[in-house]
Amino acid sequence: MGGVILLILTDNTLSFSYYYNTEKRIEQIQGINEIVNDTTLSSEEKNMLKKLRTDLIIRKTWKDQTYKLLSEIEFKSDSEEIIVNSDVQVQSERSYFWHFVSSGWIFLLVMIVMPFVGLADKNTSIGTAIGILIAIEPLFFGLAWLFAKVFSFIPILFGNSIVNYILNAILSFIILFLLTKLSGNKKKKTKDNNV
């Protein structure tokens, strides 16, 4: 897993695949331009080639689409106006920070505690502990982000975002508790079947 992450980071830093894809795209567009200039083609064929050329120009790679998807994600919901009596209006808006903390609090807590546990363990070398931290911390951050994204689909309840923060914290605990229990039961069944 670490090798894949290192490969992706290296590619993003040095842009190998970007330049390769761009060069291939330019070659394909130049080839299409040469074919379009052929006088034996019908206007329909030329239009199809022009459409193909346009598709090549605007085509996004999976990396581009993933980056666009991730960069467009927002945890804030629009301000919601709630009419309590016909005289008073309350506006409630999520705080990105508190939404993220309440949704991924377990992962964030583990991220804070892990360096101290890793350094306190005398059986593990410092280099190994740092390597594990470098590999695991982004994973936990990503999981906290994923929980925050999923919980952002829950509308603001009762016009009070604090209710949502409490609900996020409870839901994240319940989900992780259930996953841990299911994982423990599966290991127990596997162990019982092996005996």
Number of domains the chain contains: 2
Range of the domain at 20: 2-69
Q: Is the pLDDT of residue 82 over 50?
A: no
Percent of the chain with pLDDT over 70: 74
Residue 144 confidence class, pLDDT cut points 50, 70, 90? confident
Using one digit for the tens of pLDDT, what is the confidence trace for 162-194?
888 888 889 889 988 888 888 877 766 666 666
pLDDT of residue 94: 76
- Are residues 124 and 183 part of one domain? yes
pLDDT of residue 117: 76
Q: Which residue in 178, 181, 173, 177 sits closest to 189, CA to CA?
A: 181
Max intra-chain CA distance, the chain: 78
Residue 5 confidence class, pLDDT cut points 50, 70, 90? low
CA distances from 42 to 33, 38, 47, 54, 134 (A): 15, 9, 9, 18, 59
Q: Is residue 69 within a helix (H) or strand (E), and if so which, with residue range?
A: helix 62-71
- Is residue 131 helix, strand or coil? helix
pLDDT of residue 91: 43
DSSP label of 81: E
Asked if residue 11 belongs to a domain, the reply is: yes
Asked if residue 85 belongs to a domain, the reply is: no
Residue 87 confidence class, pLDDT cut points 50, 70, 90? very low
pLDDT of residue 147: 85
Task: Identify residue 122 by its one-letter amino acid code.
Answer: K
pLDDT of residue 97: 82
Asked if residue 129 belongs to a domain, the reply is: yes
- Are residues 170 and 106 part of one domain? yes
